[in-house]
Amino acid sequence: MEPYSDKVMDHFMHPRNVGEIADADGHGKVGNPVCGDIMELFIKVKDNIITDAKFKTFGCGSAIATSSIMTEMVIGKTIEDALTISNKAVVEALGGLPKVKIHCSVLAEDAFKLAVDDYLKKTTGKGLPNFKPHEE
C-alpha cells in the first residue's frame, strides 16, 4: 500500500473548515455507496467571491483530507476561478494520494461543484451548464 503524504496526514489529523454553514449560499452533497464516503460542502458567496467554505465528511482519511484542502483552495476565489480547481489539483495540493483513493478527490470536486450549482440556481435560476457529477 502506498504511504500517505505528510500533507494528507496533516489534513486528516487537523482538518480545516469542518462544520456546516446554517445560512449557506450553496450546498453540495455526494456519496460513494461502494466505499461509504459521504461528503457535504457548504459555501458563502459575496460579490462573486467565496468568502467561506465548510465541510462535513463521513469517510476515510483521504476523503476528509480532500474535503479539507478543497475548502482551503476555494475560499477567497471568485466562483469562476474556484471552478477551475480539478480533482487533479486537489491531489497535487495534498502531495499525492494512493491510486485507490483518487476517487476521494473526485468526490471533493463534485461536492464543491454541486454547492456552486445550488448557489447559481438560487441566485440566477440556472445551475452550472453541462455539469454532471462523476459516476463511480
Q: How far apart (Å, rounded) are the C-alpha atoms in residues 34 and 116?
A: 25
Is there a domain that residue 126 lies in? no
Question: What pLDDT does 114 receive?
Answer: 97
CB-CB contact of 50 with 82 (8 Å): yes
- Domain housing 78: 6-121
Q: Is 130 contained in some domain?
A: no
pTM of the full predicted structure? Answer: 0.94
> At which residue does the C-alpha cell 480533482 appear?
87
Whether residue 133 lies inside any domain: the answer is no
- The catalytic position among 9, 18, 35, 60 is 35
Quick check: is 104 catalytic? yes
- Average pLDDT score over residue span 88-96: 97
pLDDT of residue 122: 97
For residues 89 and 75, give the distance between their C-alpha atoms in angstroms, rounded to a whole number.
15
In a domain, 88, yes or no: yes
Any domain includes 136: no
**CATH number, domain with residue 81:** 3.90.1010.10
Could you tell me the CA-to-CA distances from 20 to 42, 58, 80 in Å, in that order?
6, 13, 23
Report whether 91 contacts 105 (CB < 8 A): yes
DSSP sequence for 6-74 = HHHHHHHHS-SSBS--TT-SEEEEEEETTTTEEEEEEEEEETTEEEEEEEEEES-HHHHHHHHHHHHHH
Q: Which of 104, 108, 116, 120 is catalytic?
A: 104
Q: Each residue of 13-34: pLDDT tens digit?
A: 999 999 999 999 999 999 977 7
| Domain annotation covers residue 110 | yes
Q: Is residue 87 part of a domain?
A: yes
Q: How many domains does the chain have?
A: 1
- Looking at the predicted structure, is the pLDDT value of residue 50 above 80? yes
| pLDDT reported for residue 34 | 74
Q: What is the mean pLDDT of residues 104-125?
A: 96
Q: Is residue 102 part of a domain?
A: yes
